[in-house]
Structure 1
C-alpha cells in the first residue's frame, strides 16, 4: 500500500438490503486520506448502516468497499484496519482508564508493559495525562468520550469511525468536545468518518459533508457549499431550516440571476444549471429584512414574535404562506399584527435548481 492510499475509503456501487427493504441504494462514495467526512441525515436515511458496513459490522448485499486501496468487503471487523468510537463510549466500568485504553493493544498482541506505555501516550494525546488510575464512573461525560477516542487512536487505524459520538453530552460540552475532536484530527492527520444527525455539529467538524436521504446521497461537498448552495428543497430545509419560496427567474447573466418573489426583485449568484422560468428560492431566516410599513413590494404581517436575548424570532404571514425570520435588531421588536415589507440581504439566499 502506498502512503498516498493509506486511509483512503471507497464505496463502489454498494447496496444493502434488509429482506425486501433496501437501506442503501448503489452508494458510490470516495473519501480522501487525512480528511474528516461526515455522514449527515435524519433518522432512517442510511448513514449508520453505511458506517457499520465500513466497520465490518454489516455485509453489503452488492458492491465493494475498499480501505487503503484494498478490497475489504468480505473481511470481518477484526481484520479491517479501522477503529470505532461508539455513541455509548462502551468503556469497561470495572477497568481503570489506562486499562481501558490498553485493552485493544494487549488483545492485538502487545506486551502489557508496551500496551500501557502506548496507552499513557494515547491519554496524553487527548489531554487526559494523569487520569489513568481512575475508573470511568469518576470522569465527566466529556472525559469518558475522550477516553473512547484515545482507545481507538492508540490502535493507529487507517480510519477512525465515530457514531453519533456527542449525542450523550449536554449542549455546552458538545461544542467543546467537537472542537477537541476536530483539532486532534487535523493535528494527527488521520482519516475520520463521522455520523451525526446534527447539522451544526457537521458544519463545525467536517472537511466534507455527505447528506443522505432514504439510502441515497442527496448532496455532498464542503460545509459552506452545502449551506449556501443547496441543490434541492430537502437540503435547503435540512441544512438550517431555510424558507423555501416560489419565484420566477427573470434573467441570467454572468453567473447571476434576477428573480422575482411577489413584487420583490432580487439578484443573486447562481449555478450554471439555472434557467429562466418558475423556480424555488431558499432563504435563510437571518437573510430576511423586516420593515414596518415600507414600500411593501413583498408585504407580510407578523403573526408572532419571541425575544431570545441576542435576537428576535418572528413568524410572518405572506400571501404564499408563513416564513420564519431571525432578526438581530432587539431594541424595538415588532409586535404581532404589524404590517411589514419583506427584503432580502445579500447572503443566505440560494436558487434551488433541482
Structure 2
C-alpha cells in the first residue's frame, strides 16, 4: 500500500519537562526504517510521553526529533507524515467502517471516489473486506481495532504509531490481533513504534524492544536477547518473571562461568563475568524440583497451587524464596515438604552489572 519508503526515527538528546517534573531526561535512540520497535516499561516510565513527542502531540523541552532524516521537532502533528492508532480506537460511532477509514483521505482533499477505493483496499488489508457498511457498534472489539489500523495505514505514513493498541481487548483476542498487526507490518514493510506495558505483547511483535525506566533506556535489544541476557535485575524481573538471587562466580573459562548458589553449583554462559559476587536471574520454569535427599539447593515448600498443566510453588531456601512453575504435574509436593532445586540449561542468566 505504501507509495514511499518507510521512514527512520531519530531522537537526539531529547528532554521533556512538565514544569518542575522531568519526564524524559536525555533520550537518544534510532529506529531503522521498516522495523517494528516497542517502547516497553512500567506506568510512568516515559514511553507514552516519548510516543506523543514523536506524534507531535507534545514538543520536547530540548533536543531534536527526525523522521526520515527530516527535523520535525517543532512541526505540528499534521505535518509529520505519521499516523497514530489510539488505545480507545477513536472511531466515529455514527460513521460506517468504510467512512471511518476514508475520513482522513477525504480530509486531505483526495477525491471522494479515490478515497473510498483506498479505504476499501485498507479494510481488505486488515481482513475486513465486505464489512465496510457496518457501524462500529456492529463490530467486535478486535474488528474495531483493525478499522483503526486501516484508517492509519491508508494515509501511507512514514511511521505508524500504536499506543497500547490491544489493552481494551480480552486475552484471547489480544493474541489474535497482535499477530494480525505483526503480519501486516512484515508484509507491508512500514516502520512502526509500538507502546505497551505488556511483556508478552512486546516479545511477540517486536524486531527490537526498548525497555524504559524513569524516562531513560534501561536496555535495548532483540526480544530473545532481553529475555535471555538481561543486563540488570530490573530487566530480568520485568521481561517475564524471574527469581533474582545472590551468587558467587567461582571461575570463568572459555566464555562459561561456574556459579555457586547456596550448596548448588551450575555452569552457564558468562562472557563478561569475573570471579566474585554477582546476581543470578532464574526463570520460574528453569528450576527442576527433586526430593529433599537429592543433590541441589535445599528448600522447603511454603505454598503450592495446581493450575491444570502446571503447578506453582513458593519455596523457601537459605538464599531466598523461589517462585517455581513445574510442568511435571504427575508428581507434586505438599506444603512443608523438603525439596531440592536444580537449574535447567535454559532460563538462567548471570547479571554482572
Q: State the distance in 1 between where 2:271 and 2:193 align.
A: 29
Contact preservation (8 Å) 1:296, 1:340: no
2:321 match = 322
Partner of 1:156: 156
CA–CA separation in structure 1 for the residues paired with 2:96 and 2:6: 32
Please give the alpha-carbon distance, in whole angstroms, between the structure 2 residues aligned to 1:318 and 1:58. 49
- Which residue does 2:102 correspond to in 1? 102
Q: Give the equivalent residue in structure 2 for 1:343.
A: 342
Query: Does the CA contact (< 8 Å) of 2:159 and 2:193 recur in 1?
Result: yes
Aligned counterpart, 1:16 = 16
Give the C-alpha shift of residue 241 in structure 1. 1.1
Relative to structure 2, which stretch is displaced further, 294-303 or 284-293?
294-303
Equivalent residue for 2:304?
A: 305
Match of 2:172, SS state, is helix
Q: In structure 2, what is the Cα distance between the partners aligned to 1:237 and 1:132? A: 44
d(CA) in 1 for partners of 2:238, 2:97 = 38
- In structure 1, what is the equivalent of residue 26 of structure 2? 26
Q: Secondary structure at the match of 1:259?
A: strand
Per the alignment, residue 265 of structure 2 pairs with: 265
Local SS of the residue matching 1:17? strand
CA distance in 2, matches of 1:149, 1:4: 18
Question: 1:1-354 residue pairs with structure 2 within 5 A?
Answer: 6-272=6-272, 274-354=273-353
Which deviates further from its counterpart, 148-157 or 287-296?
A: 287-296
Cα drift, residue 298 of structure 1: 1.3
Indicate the SS of the match to 1:25. Answer: strand
d(CA) in 2 for partners of 1:100 and 1:297? Answer: 61
How far apart are residue 89 of structure 1 and its match? 0.1
| Aligned alpha-carbon RMSD (Å) | 1.2
Question: For the Cα contact (< 8 Å) 2:243–2:281, is it kept in 1?
Answer: yes
Q: Which consecutive segments of 4 or more residues in structure 1 shift more than 6 A?
A: none
Tell me, which stretches of 5 or more residues in structure 2 are unaligned? Answer: none
Distance 2:269 2:101 in 1: 50
Query: Secondary structure of the equivalent of 1:231?
Result: coil
User: SS at the partner of 1:234?
Assistant: helix
Counterpart secondary structure, 2:202: helix
Q: Contact 1:5–1:69 (CA<8 Å) still a contact in 2?
A: no
Displacement of 1:333: 1.3
Q: Deviations over 1:148-191 (max 9, x none)?
A: 00000000000000000000000000000000000000000000
The answer for unaligned runs of 5 or more in structure 1 is none
User: Is the CA contact (8 Å cut-off) linking 1:94 and 1:135 kept in structure 2?
Assistant: yes
1:223–1:52 distance in 2 versus 1, CA, 3 Å: same
Take 1:320 and 1:255, find their aligned partners in 2: how far apart are those partners? 26
The SS at the match of 1:48 is helix
For 2:249 and 2:18, how far apart are their aligned partners in 1?
Answer: 43
Change (3 A) 1:5 1:69: farther
Distance 1:25 1:88, change over 3 A: same
- Deviation, 1:320, is 2.5
Q: Offset of 1:299 from its aligned partner? A: 0.4
- Cα distance in 1 for partners of 2:137, 2:345 equals 50
| Count of residues in correspondence between the two structures | 351
